[in-house]
Every structure is written in structure tokens, then in C-alpha cells.
Amino acid sequence: MKYMNLLVLLLLNVILTAKSHLDLAWAQGSFKTRSRRDISCREGLEYANDKVCCLNCPAGTHVKRACVNNSEKGECESCPFDSYTEHGNGLEKCLSCTKCRIDQDTVEVCTSTQNTRCVCKRGSFCLPDQACELCKKCSKCKDDEEIVESCTVNSNTVCRKRNSPDGSLSVMFLVVLPLIAMLVCIVSIVYWKKSKSGKRAIAPRSPKEMVKICMGDGDELREERQNSKMDDSSPLQPFLELNYVDREQSRRLVPLNGEESLKKTFELFEEIDVHYHNRFFRFIGLSDNAIKTAESLIPEDKVYELLKVWLEKEGMKADFNNLIEALIYLDQRLSAENIIAKAISNKFFRYEDESQETSSDSHSE
């Protein structure tokens, strides 16, 4: 019996030891997947590798083997044929060169430091603020129209009506006749007031007065009876009030800590609907080849890694507001509002029209 108890205790000890090793291995694996996000390296100069920051490989190369010690450069390798990197980077492989479509012409061929540049063929165009999925055919002006601006690769033809006697006549009817009608109304009302004041000495005072109102473009007058003191229930009241429409003006967001604030917001974009991922990344300028390189990652890591590629591609032009505008354009306003709210609450960004004192007070709190 004594040996049996000893054997049971030994077995329990082995089980507890194995469990602790499994927990440690899981924790290490989880840390490894997010270690790149937790380490803060110099933006544009270094990239994270486990617990150290390595110097970026130059444009035209990619990281073959990362560094071991902090602030050292690992082993870099030139981009193979048909791939490129435009800036210093920490990418494990170069980006694939874009292939111009059949409806496009190649303006600049792809090199190790520059992607292919394509434009629509002559007679077609793509608007620069839209994803160019397909070049559109340039419009042609009608027989009674003339060209104001010719079609280019980035804009459609702009036409306008030719000047004609009929056009001048229509302008006269639209502008002059309403003015004449208004003048007739004013003269009629003045004449009516004068005639009323002349009769007031002999006519008895009535609790209700006759009021003449101009009802149309011509000189037709209509008489309406109403109380001498007009109240809010008068049927004329809606015509005496003006309706004002408040237009919401866009408010730009500015970072509180430079480019570091922009990088910290990348995790917030993980809430974007996965069905909109590819459209979103195409809209902000990433090529299909760049998007395909991240297809094997889980959605959260895919968003984060592709935003890093976007940041490396845009360089100094990278702007948080452009990402928000892309979501709103894709009808993802709720996600955009949530991301803005989190960026402000985490003190990554603030509205540009807010005073610096307000920003400083929020930091102190």
C-alpha cells in the first residue's frame, strides 16, 4: 500500500509538470505572433524581430536573415526578377510587380526599386480617386455641344451646349419674366394699401381685415380673411419661416505622437468586415499581388501586415484620414466611427480643430 501511494504521487507530479510545459509553450507561441506589435522600433529605419529592432534593408532588397542584436542590420538579399521594394523595409520577401491589363498601356516598366506604372489606353480613362478595376470609354459630345475639356487618362470629356438664339430666348423667359411678375405684385400691393388708407376714415373698423396676397408669377391677386393679429396657427405661417439645413463639415484628425500614433491604430482596423478586406486594400492603393501575399494569414494579422505594406509604400504621405475616408466610401461608416472613437480614447489622435490645451489636459488626466 505504501508503494502504491508513492506511485500515485509520482504520476500526479509528472502530469503537473507536463501541463506547465504545455502552458509555457502556448504562451511563447502567442507572444511570438504579437511580438512585432509590442516592440516599438524607429519608424522608417528599423523593423521588429522578436525582442530586438533590426535596421531596414535598402530599397530593391528584402530581409533574408534578421539580425540577432539590437540596431544591427541582418542579411539582405536583392529582389528577384519581377519583384520590387520601393523603400527601406523589413519584408521577408519582395512585392510582385503589377501586370498591366489588356485595356492599359505600360508607361514605366517594373524595376527592383519601382513597380510597373500603367495608364488607360487612348480613348479611355479611370478617375484617380476610384479603384481602377476597368478603364471606362471616353464620352463624345453631342451635335449641339462643344468640348470644354478633352478626355485624359484621369478624366472624362467635359461638354457644354453651344450658344444659340434659342438659348438666349430661354434665358430671357427664365430670368426676365419672373422679375416682371414680381414687380407687378409689388405695385398691386402698394396700390391696395393706399386705397385702403383712403377708405379707413369712412369705413367701420372690423375685427377682421382683408389682406391681399400675391399668389403667382402674374398680377393675379387673391383675398384672404384673417385676424388683425396673426398668430402661430395662421395658414400663412409656414411661408413666413425659413428652413435651415445644418451641414456636417468633415473634421481632420491629427496624431498626438507623430507616425508612431498611426502605427498604433493598425490594430483598430481589425474590426473591418472580412468581406470588405480586398476592396478596402485596393482602394488605398495596394496591388492584387501584395494582397495575395497575405492571404494565408488570419484576418487580424492580414489587416495589420497589409497596413504595414501600405505604410512602407506611402512613406511620408501616409495619412490616417485617408484610411477613414476609404471606409466611409465603402459604406462602412459604423466601423469608421468605432475606429475614430478608439483612436481618440487611446490618445493616438485628436481632432485638428481642438485646442492644444484640451489635448494637454486629456493627457494629464
* Structural element, H or E, at residue 139: none
pLDDT for position 25: 53
pLDDT for position 8: 65
3-state SS, residue 70: coil
pLDDT in tens, 108-154: 999 999 999 999 999 999 998 887 888 999 999 998 999 999 999 89
Q: Take residue 198 and report the three cell numbers written for it.
A: 383712403
Q: For the domain 253-364, what is the CATH superfamily, name and number?
A: Death Domain, Fas (1.10.533.10)
Sorted by sequence, the CB contacts under 8 Å of residue 267 that are 6+ apart come out as: 37, 300, 304
Range 280-294 burial, b when 16+ CB lie within 10 A, else e: bbbbbebbeebbebb
Task: Give domain limits for the chain.
Answer: 38-116, 178-193+209-239, 253-364
Q: What is the CA radius of gyration of the chain?
A: 36
Successive 10-residue mean pLDDT values, the chain, 365 residues: 65 67 52 55 89 94 93 93 94 94 94 94 90 89 92 93 64 76 88 68 42 42 40 40 38 88 90 89 91 88 91 89 92 92 92 64 51
User: What are the DSSP E strand ranges found in 37-103?
Assistant: 46-49, 52-55, 61-65, 75-78, 83-84, 95-96
CATH of span 38-116: 2.10.50.10
Sorted by sequence, the CB contacts under 8 Å of residue 329 that are 6+ apart come out as: 283
Dist. CA 49–CA 365, nearest whole Å: 34
pLDDT in tens, 230-269: 444 444 344 333 333 333 346 889 999 888 888 899 999 9
- For 60: left if phi > 0, alpha if psi spans -120 to 50, otherwise beta; the answer is left
Least Cα distance to 137 among 150, 147, 122, 148 occurs for 122
> What is 265-305 written as a DSSP string?
GGGGGGGS-GGGHHHHHHHTT--HHHHHTTTTS-HHHHHHH
What pTM value is reported for the model?
0.38
